[in-house]
């Protein structure tokens, strides 16, 4: 019943045209003529009419499958329209009709929070983060009303700026419960999972559906030294465990083997990012050196464990 009412309202202003052939860039059809995509300058919406446009000489409007359109008349929303070609009624061909196309395909956004504007931890340290994410605009009405909020232009950079602001708020809520060592090392995976979960929930409120969210790295003035100190402590622990029982040594070896695999996978990911021009050579070299330091430490620890096991 509700859908029937919507269709009847739509028919007052437009109706879908099936199986009709149209020429490319037909002057009678209003549509979003896309430019190159994939940059932070890529428009996420298109509005008709713009200054100088007239709807009176238009007969149709088209919505592509990876778009949705909001149809307004005299400031009131008539409805959200999916892919198709639609014929405009005379009632719609007046001043006060506005159509807003919104891109609903996947949007890739790299993000970063520098240390100088970083997130404070429970013990007062400041952490910077960087990563990337993929999302799509799922509810175009909420997105247009609550985020775009009447602006005539909106590009990927605008969405990125909005997301950075959201990240600041969400990360502060999480990091205030953890000390820097927990965030960087001890509870790192738990913290990342909490961040991903919270960001997903927040984006849904604004009509955005998160596809992937990656934290590639965390930076703080003491992060590298913290991790190296932790690795040294592990080495001391291994030496002490040499006097312990065999079961503890075997367990420690398995943990280190898992860590070595993770570090090697991370190194391979960095190489892929370098080949795909996602990071600079300088960034690659710095991160690779850090990973190799951790690999050397872990491999040295395994050798110590193996010696201890052979003496049991």
**Average of per-residue pLDDT values in the chain:** 83
Confidence of residue 233 (pLDDT cuts 50, 70, 90): low
Helices (H) and strands (E) in the chain, counts: 8, 12
pLDDT at residue 11 tops 80: no
Cis peptide before 49 (omega within 30 of 0): yes
Residue 196 contacts residue 123 (beta carbons within 8 Å):
no
Looking at per-residue pLDDT, the higher value among 8 and 199 belongs to 199
Statement: residue 212 has pLDDT above 80: yes
Q: What is the mean pLDDT of residues 111-127?
A: 87
Q: Looking at residue 228, what is its pLDDT?
A: 45
**Highest mean pLDDT (candidates 53-67, 242-256, 297-311):** 53-67
The Cα 209–Cα 190 span in angstroms is 22
Helices (H), the chain: 2-11, 140-142, 156-175, 180-181, 188-205, 223-241, 246-275, 281-310
Written as one string, the DSSP assignment of 284-297 is: HHHHHHHHHHHHHH
What would the two tokens of residue 253 be?
């070896």
Per-residue pLDDT averaged across 60-77, rounded?
A: 94
Task: Please write the tens of the pLDDT for every residue from 264-294.
Answer: 888 888 888 877 777 787 777 777 877 787 7
What pLDDT shows up at residue 225? 53
Among residues of the chain, what percentage have pLDDT more than 90?
Answer: 40
Q: Which long-range contacts (CB under 8 A, 24 or more apart) does 149-155 make?
A: 152/47, 153/43, 153/45, 154/43, 154/44, 154/45, 155/40, 155/41, 155/42, 155/43, 155/44
Give the helix ranges, DSSP H, for 38-176.
140-142, 156-175
Q: Give dist(CA 259, CA 119) in Å, integer.
A: 27
Residue 242 pLDDT > 50, yes or no?
A: no
How many C-beta neighbours within 10 Å does residue 6 have? 13
């Amino acid at each position: 019943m509700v859908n029937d009412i919507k269709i009847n309202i739509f028919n007052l202003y437009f109706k879908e045209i099936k199986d009709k052939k149209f020429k490319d860039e037909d002057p009678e059809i209003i549509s979003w003529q896309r430019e190159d995509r994939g940059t932070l300058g890529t428009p996420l919406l298109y509005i008709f009419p713009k200054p100088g446009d007239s709807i009176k000489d238009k007969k149709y409007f088209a919505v592509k499958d990876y778009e949705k359109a909001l149809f307004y008349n005299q400031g009131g929303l008539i409805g959200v329209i999916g892919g198709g070609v639609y014929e405009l009624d005379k009632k719609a061909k007046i001043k006060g009709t506005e159509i807003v196309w919104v891109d609903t395909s996947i949007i890739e956004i790299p993000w970063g929070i520098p240390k100088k504007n970083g997130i404070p931890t429970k013990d007062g340290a400041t952490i910077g983060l960087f990563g990337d994410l993929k999302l799509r605009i799922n509810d175009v009405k909420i997105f247009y009303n609550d985020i775009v909020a009447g602006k005539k232009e909106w590009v990927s950079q605008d969405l990125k700026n909005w997301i950075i602001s959201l990240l600041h708020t969400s990360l502060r809520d999480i990091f205030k419960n953890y000390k820097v060592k927990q965030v960087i090392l001890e509870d790192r995976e738990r913290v990342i999972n909490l961040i991903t979960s919270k960001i997903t929930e927040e984006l849904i409120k604004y009509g955005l559906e998160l596809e992937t969210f990656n934290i590639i790295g965390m930076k703080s003035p003491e992060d590298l030294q913290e991790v190296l100190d932790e690795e040294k402590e592990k080495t001391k622990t291994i030496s002490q465990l040499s006097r312990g029982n065999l079961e503890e040594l075997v367990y420690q070896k398995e943990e280190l083997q898992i860590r070595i695999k993770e570090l090697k996978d991370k190194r391979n990911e960095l190489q892929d990012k370098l080949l795909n021009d996602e990071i600079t050579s300088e960034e690659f070299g710095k991160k690779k050196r850090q990973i190799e330091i951790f690999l050397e430490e872990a491999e040295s620890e395994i050798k110590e464990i193996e010696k201890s096991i052979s003496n049991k």
